[in-house]
Chains A and B, each alone.
Chain A
Amino acid sequence: MNAADGIEVVVADDEADIRLLLKLQLRQFGISVVAEATDGIEAIELCEATKPHVVILDLLMPNMNGFEAIPELRRRCPNVKIIAYSAVAGDFVRDEMARHDVPLRLKNGDAEPLVAAIRSVVSEPCPD
């Protein structure tokens, strides 16, 4: 896929207003938020149910955080690309995301870096 139109994403973040912001911002780029999760467990369930192209994953969430969700998402939803979207990105977070080979974007008001990351991961081939 080389166009943003038609891209479907699941947003996982325990902050309702971050989910709202992403939904409105991504809509401007032709990207649909097909489901919203409030923790890692919901993110996995919703990715299994909706089969999005991408899941945008906050790292700091209750019940199951993003660090725990990544290996489980890879196992249960291998075709769903993961982008970590975090309010913190110190050495620990950067090292962990590099270890998992997950692109990391820092939360800020500018949607374009996130959209670029979404387009980039969607253009990569899936495992099957």
Chain B
Amino acid sequence: MTTPPPDALDLIRRRVINVVGHELRTPITTVRGLAELLVDADPEEARTVIIPALIRNSRRSEELLDDLLIVSEVKTAHPVEKADAIDLGEIARSVTRHTVVRVEGAPDGPAYGHGDLVTRALRHLVSNAVKYHQSDPWIHFESDEDDVTAVVVTPVDGQIDDVESIFELFFRGESAVTRAAGLGIGLPAARSLARVDGGDVSVESTPTRFTARLRLPRSARPAQGVS
């Protein structure tokens, strides 16, 4: 691989920091603001509203950090535990609970991966579906001899040209990242998380549907594209 010229490296560096800053700002802002509110909060409101939100956003910061490391192909964020057989249908049901996304059917057998990474990957796809749906999204399953796939289908209004570019977040300028909501870290992170387990995420866009496929192997497979 050739090294980009210094000016291009500087541009990439600034874009990475812009994306990282944007992604982390929401949970960090929320944690700081809610922590300050705790000082004078009504105890019942603190217990039922503020503390759960603090925990939720602390956890989100932690996951974002891990996602950023994984999407940047930094192996230190990979789990040390071994992958195992996982039920993709059960994970789909857990991440869609309390959302408009319905789960149709079940996979015809277990997939192989790290349950926490696969959960995070599918949560990113579901979160995307919740934000952009025009009518209720759904998940169904496909399988073949080698792979089990969760297919997240989102009815939308409008086709995305050059749909593969949504995985290239670090190479977009501020105006593109800012204007195109949803071009945050979610989809690139989902792909990187799946690749840790030898799977992948692919997307298709038509004028009425956005389809994301989370594919996982049925048995152990080396990670892809990770340094």
Which residues of chain B are within 8 angstroms of A91 by Cβ–Cβ distance?
Answer: 174
- Nearest to A27 among chain B residues (CB) is B37
Is B177 interfacial (CB 8 A cutoff)?
Answer: yes
Chain A residues whose CB sits within 8 angstroms of the CB of B27 once the complex forms:
17
Asked whether B103 is an interface residue with its Cβ less than 8 Å from the other chain, the reply is no
The answer to whether the Cβ of A6 comes within 8 Å of any Cβ in the partner chain is: no
Residue of A nearest to B53 (CB): A17
Flag if A62 contacts B182 (CB, 8 Å). yes
- The chain B residue with its CB closest to the CB of A64 is B181
- How distant is the Cα of A10 from the Cα of B146 in the complex, in angstroms? 51
User: Is chain A's binding surface mostly helix, strand, loop or mixed?
Assistant: loop
Question: In this assembly, does B13 line the interface, its C-beta being within 8 Å of a C-beta of chain A?
Answer: no
Residue B75 at the chain A interface, CB threshold 8 Å:
no
With the chains together, A65 CA to B176 CA distance in Å? 13
Is residue B99 within 8 Å, beta carbon to beta carbon, of the partner chain?
no
Q: How many residue-residue contacts, CB under 8 A, span A and B?
A: 85
Which positions 6-55 of chain B face chain A at CB distance < 8 Å?
18, 21-22, 25-37, 40, 49-50, 53
Q: Does A59 contact B (CB under 8 A)?
A: yes
Q: Which of B22, B34, B53, B179 is the one whose CB lies under 8 Å from A87?
A: B22
Complex: chain A residue closest to B182, CB-CB: A62
What is the distance, in angstroms, from A112's C-beta to the closest C-beta of chain B? 11
As a 0/1 sequence over residues 94 to 136 of chain B, the CB contacts with chain A under 8 angstroms (1 = contact) are 0000000000000000000000000000000000000110000
Interface: B57 (CB within 8 A): yes
A71 smallest CB distance to B (angstroms): 14
In the bound complex, do residue B174 and residue A90 qualify as a contact, i.e. CB atoms below 8 Å apart?
yes
In the assembled complex, the Cα of A15 lies from the Cα of B28 at a distance in Å of: 13
Across-interface contacts of B159 in A (CB, < 8 A): none
Query: Which of A42-50, A73-81, A103-111 touches B?
Result: A103-111
- Decide yes or no whether B76 CB sits under 8 A from chain A: no
B33 touches A25 (CB 8 A): yes
Report B-chain residues with C-beta under 8 Å of the C-beta of A28.
37, 40
Q: Could you tell me the distance between the alpha carbons of A32 and B25 in the complex, rounded to whole angstroms?
A: 24
Q: B165: CB under 8 A from chain A?
A: no
Contact B174 A60 (CB under 8 A): no
Please give the distance in Å from A57's CB to the nearest CB on chain B: 13
> Does A3 interact with chain B (Cβ within 8 Å)?
no
> A60-B181, A65-B181 given as contacts; is B132 within 8 A of A18 (CB)?
no
Question: What are 6 inter-chain pairs, A to B, with CB distance below 8 A?
Answer: A17-B56, A24-B49, A88-B22, A88-B178, A90-B174, A111-B33
